[in-house]
Chain A
Amino acid sequence: MSARLLGRGLHLLGLAALLAFTLFPFYWMVSSSLKDQTDLLASPPVWTFVPTLSHYAEIWADEKVFGAVVNSLIVASSTTLLAVLLGTPAAYSLARFQFRGKKDLWFWFISNRMISPIVLALPVYLLAQGAGLLDTHLVLILIYLSFCLPIVVWICTDQFRSIPPDLEQAARLDNANQWDIFWRIYVPLGLPGIAVSAIFSFIFSWNELLYALVLTRSDVQTAPVIATSYMSGYELPWGKIMATGTVIVLPVTVFALFVSRHMVRGLTMGASK
């Protein structure tokens, strides 16, 4: 009994430590964004302070920040939407059909994620320049798509495979065509996987810095690019950087919270037996 209590205590302690480790940077970011310059630079750091919204006012007045958040929203939501629209049918076919080259295709999807992004940065830049796509939303969407599509295909293939094939056959006998089967059976039942892959795609596209830095100049700079752009010069405006960081994190957090209720597995329970 006491051993079980001890185990449970240790378990909770471990979880708490992990939680503190993950959440502390967020706390630090948000609290720093609310400190004035003196409190920010205080050493040792101050834990109690009078909060100020001056940094938020500053970035609110800065058109570049607002524009960057809009750019990020356009790029991340377009990427996510396209990745899900293109990735789920691909995943369905990989999960349920036999065709020549299926294994190679599957490996090709995985291999896309094995390449370090920086290796491709220069060729991609040259390609984008040649196509006249530099500094456009489209180029970022295309590049992010090539990273996010494999995520969607992986997760959804796995999810679709877990759906009992009997359901598809029952639907075929029920006069459902291939599209009906996909749309009315696989998509609703695969929603947890689709939601998870959408979150991953959105977060990836929202956070991505390298390609955004390389492929954009001024018109379509995304939020991470703007946040890091303050880090040049002699003075580091920590308050503004932290406030920008908080603003950037907010939409992803809201999105993740919104989709997370779909992430609960077990929707297929009760299908059979």
Chain B
Amino acid sequence: MEFLKIDKVVKKYGEATVIGGVSLAARQGEFVVFVGPSGCGKSTLMRLVAGLDDVSGGRIHIDGVDVTEVQPAARGVSMVFQSYALYPHMNVRENMSFGLKMIKTPAAEIYQRVSEAAAILKLDDLLARKPKELSGGQRQRVAIGRAIVRKPKLFLFDEPLSNLDAELRGEMRVEIARLHQALGVTMVYVTHDQVEAMTLADRIVVLRAGQVEQIGSPAELYDRPVNTFVAGFIGSPKMNFLATRVAGVEANRLQLAHPAFANGDLTLPVRDAPAVRLGDTVTLGLRPEHLSLGGGSPLALAVQSEYVENLGGASQLYARSADGAPIIVHTPGRLAAARGETLMLSAAPEHAYLFDAEGHAI
């Protein structure tokens, strides 16, 4: 049963189309992450689900009910804002009570529910404080607490961690994942950070320019990106791309030419007969973590070292191929390479991603 169903939703501001007919569905209890670069429409899409903006077309269903025309508060959703949006003149308890007070919940029940939420989020000692007396992480927790006490059917998170420092972001990420397990509520989470998307999501929706590029589990998006955009967006550091030329086409093998390849060309296995012709451009994608130093694999290429980053347990090599394409290698352990040194890199052929001239996966 689809719990959240977004059906051909369109949002226009005047002439500009911000969301161009997006359809997707989420199951009860699922953690769905909208991810994409800034301006892709992911926050707008969330605001449409919340009811804070009206759709220009399409329908939105929550728990089997068409809520397209329903007021935000009546949709049974809670939202955590990027800015937290805590009421500055109210203390933490008042902030968390506000929504319940508005629907005339008995005071004793409000007290109990706020205390419960505060206990879950370790806010017990902070209930009398005003937002300005709290740290960023504490404010974030209060914002989540305010969302919890209303016992919503659907949680919406709009880039909730983007104002926190790296360490706190990591902590809160784990806390949100824990909260999702504990509450079992459907959550929709917007972020531009693919690490958050990969670690939190049951399913990721990759958006670009108001359109869905791909929907799938983190592993699906990582293993089988449908195009170069998704391939480049999911994974950190970004996937390396080499523009190669088709030098030979067979039933399930493809011969590609590029100056960085050992003999100027190499042959890769492909699943089906590829829809490319001799001379076409094919983009070869290689993830930094799949590349290793040294030849020996049928998939080997020569690069010129530029810079090495030592991350402690791992190293990152920044290099360039013969045609100037940047290549990043992420490898465990330490790595020493002089600037300008020519290195051989290799990868297992099954780790090669191939895309046609339009960027679609082959």
A residues near B (Cβ < 8 Å) are 164, 166-167, 169-176, 180, 184-185, 188-189, 267-273
Contact = CB atoms under 8 A, between A and B. Distances in A.
Contacts of A170: 79, 81, 85-87, 146
A169 B81 contact: yes
A167 B82 CA distance: 11
Interface string B103-119: 10000000000000000
Nearest to A164: B83
Contacts of A166: 81-83, 85
B102 A180 contact: yes
Interface in B41-61: 50, 52
A173 B49 CA distance: 12
B85 A175 contact: no
A271 B98 contact: no
B244 to A, nearest CB: 46
Contact of B131 (A174, A180, A271): A271
Contacts of B20: none
Contact of B86 (A172, A173, A180, A270): A270
Contacts of B24: none
Given A170-B79, A170-B81, A268 B102 contact: no
B268 interface: no
Contacts of B98: 171, 174, 176, 184
A189 B88 contact: yes
Contacts of B271: none
Contacts of A184: 98
Contacts, number: 82
B102 A269 contact: no
Nearest to B134: A270
Given A170-B81, A175-B102, A270 B163 contact: no
Given A171-B98, A175-B103, A271 B52 contact: no
Nearest to B131: A270
Given A167-B85, A271-B88, A272-B85, 17 more contacts: A164-B83, A164-B85, A166-B81, A169-B50, A170-B87, A171-B98, A173-B50, A173-B52, A174-B99, A174-B102, A174-B150, A175-B99, A176-B102, A185-B87, A267-B89, A270-B131, A272-B86
Contacts of B79: 169-170, 173
Nearest to B98: A174
Given A269-B132, A270-B132, A273-B83, A173 B88 contact: no
Contacts of A268: 88
Interface residues of B, number: 31
B325 interface: no
Q: Which 6 A-B pairs give the minimum distances between C-beta atoms?
A: A270-B132, A272-B83, A174-B99, A166-B85, A175-B102, A170-B85
Given A270-B130, A273-B163, A172 B88 contact: no
Given A170-B81, A172-B52, A175-B99, A271 B73 contact: no
Contacts of A267: 88-89
A273 B137 CA distance: 10
Contacts of A169: 50, 52, 72, 79, 81, 85
A173 B99 contact: yes
Q: Report which residue of A164, A174, A269 has the largest number of chain B beta carbons within 10 angstroms of its beta carbon.
A: A174
Nearest to A269: B132
28 contacts: A164-B83, A166-B81, A166-B85, A167-B85, A169-B81, A170-B81, A171-B98, A172-B52, A172-B72, A173-B73, A173-B99, A174-B73, A174-B98, A174-B99, A185-B87, A189-B88, A189-B89, A269-B88, A270-B86, A270-B88, A270-B131, A270-B133, A270-B134, A271-B87, A271-B88, A272-B81, A272-B86, A273-B84
Contacts of B87: 167, 170-171, 185, 271
Interface string B72-102: 1100011101111111110000000011001
A88 to B, nearest CB: 16
A104 to B, nearest CB: 21
